[in-house]
Chains A and B, each alone.
Chain A
């Protein structure tokens, strides 16, 4: 029973963390793209800017970086496994 509680609440909690981190990482990437474009083309028009940012975000979405946010689920599971082993193996 305790195990089920841990899995359910752990999953819910980690999902909240997952989405927060995923949105944060994407937002930081977008801001970086905006700043980069503004620095390179001070006179750039709005449509080229939007296209540049959309391209950059598409590239980000296909890269490995957003997938690394999945570590939010994996790391705590590994840590719990390690704790269980070290505490109970004597």
Chain B
């Protein structure tokens, strides 16, 4: 039983953790090398790792996908520790429009122009993105914004994520308080009442049984 409980908790943690890791914004330090547009044919299952067509356009099975090719500074531990090496990273650049995840991004074309501008030089920039790069499924992280930075060693403080996790903690505590209040005020009294009724019924049965037993003993 204990083992099932632990397995369940680990599984829940992994699922929620990967969901948040996919959805929350992350920052990469990159040098944009080029931008390009490729035609993409989504398959049934990698479709969910892509957002929508440009806001206001029709969504088709096949469409063009904006990509930003970069040389990225490697990091360890979710970007908290910087490394000296670099590797390539390719971002897609899609509108999320009004859909999920709620970035409300409508300016893919402008972002593409900014990236193209950066690609002319060799300057460092910070790309905010969400999502994963999965090579064997042709999945790319979606770039949300890009801005020039002084160099590859700047410190980035993830303000949004800090606020998000504080807020999430408050929500969890609040929901727990609500649940306890609900149990204490609405469910427990009902259970008490039911138990009381069961007690009464049992007492009645015992009384009747006693009477029956006495009757048998009478002879």
A27 to B182, CA, bound (A): 8
Which of A3, A20, A31 is the one whose CB lies under 8 Å from B178? A20
CB under 8 Å from chain A, chain B span 98-115 = 98-99, 102-107, 110-111, 114
Given A20-B178, A87-B105, A2–B99 Cβ distance below 8 Å? yes
A11 to B53, CA, bound (A): 25
A88: chain B residues within 8 A (beta carbon): 104-107, 110
Q: Is B34 an interface residue (CB 8 A)?
A: no
Q: Is A54 an interface residue (CB 8 A)?
A: no
Interface readout for A3-46 with B: 1 if CB under 8 Å, 0 if not? Answer: 10110000000000000110010011001000000000000000
Q: Is A51 an interface residue (CB 8 A)?
A: no
Q: Please tell me if the beta carbons of B145 and A87 are within 8 angstroms of each other in the complex.
A: yes
Closest-CB distance, B164 to chain A (whole angstroms): 11
B30: chain A residues within 8 A (beta carbon): none
Closest-CB distance, A90 to chain B (whole angstroms): 6
Q: Is B23 an interface residue (CB 8 A)?
A: no
Q: Please tell me if the beta carbons of A80 and B104 are within 8 angstroms of each other in the complex.
A: yes
Interface readout for B109-126 with A: 1 if CB under 8 Å, 0 if not? Answer: 011001000000000000
CB under 8 Å from chain B, chain A span 57-90 = 80, 83-84, 87-88, 90
Which of B97, B102, B105, B185 is the one whose CB lies under 8 Å from A80? B102
A21: chain B residues within 8 A (beta carbon): 178
Q: Please tell me if the beta carbons of A31 and B104 are within 8 angstroms of each other in the complex.
A: no
Contacts from B to A (Cβ < 8 Å): 52, 97-99, 102-107, 110-111, 114, 144-145, 177-178, 181-182, 185
7 pairs, A vs B, C-beta closer than 8 Å: A2-B98, A5-B98, A24-B178, A24-B181, A83-B102, A87-B105, A88-B110
Query: 12 other contacts beyond A3-B98, A24-B181, with CB at 8 A cut-off?
Result: A2-B97, A5-B98, A83-B102, A84-B104, A84-B106, A87-B107, A87-B144, A88-B104, A88-B105, A90-B110, A90-B111, A90-B114
